[in-house]
Structure 1
């Protein structure tokens, strides 16, 4: 059996695997939710988690929750956890920055596509999440932790 190819990024990061860890789509008011003519209010929240699974190998999980409402009625809810297993060099500088900025930047396009496909398959227009400034989130969270 041949070894699965690895994607090496910038000499210090190897993507070993990517996968959907958890996915939930709820469409509680269908088919009535399709009868509204106004635009929904969409709330998107992001969460990044990481855990060491072996030596210099980590599971990085990008969590996205989407809530769509019209007139206080829920149209749809999405809860997605998308993960990547990454290996870093043993003496990796800025390890946290690589894990919480570079890794989410790599897996975000897959998350964005899954969200758009799920909303389209759920009967709605595809939802395209805007690009996310993971470095800004990292700095904000670091500053909050220091306070």
Structure 2
């Protein structure tokens, strides 16, 4: 299974903020969408960073209440680790485990294609396991 298969099922829509937005604004976006990370895109729609709940927590630990007024670019993670649509899901799992992050933008030839989360990967793995079990049941029954 490839990342493109996950994107085909989940879609390619991404939620993004700009580098000059305030952290408070980005937090409102995360809360409203009930998501754990947003991509940071510049005016050309190029990926320049990613802002996760962990980034926000670190900013709050350093700056307390003052953190809400910071610009996203002061808090975001950069450079961003990405994958391509032709990467395997196993490769994505290894990247996420090694990098200790839960969101991975999908980029092909410099163009943002979507984002996969650890939840997407777990769902894929559960579906694959269920299908394998069903295939084995069918095989044994015949």
Q: Normalised by the shorter chain, which TM-score bucket?
A: under 0.3
Task: Give me the TM-score of the superposition, normalised by structure 2.
Answer: 0.25
Q: Which has the higher contact order (CA 8 A, sep 6+)?
A: 2
Return the structure number with greater helix share: 2
Return the structure number with greater strand share: 1
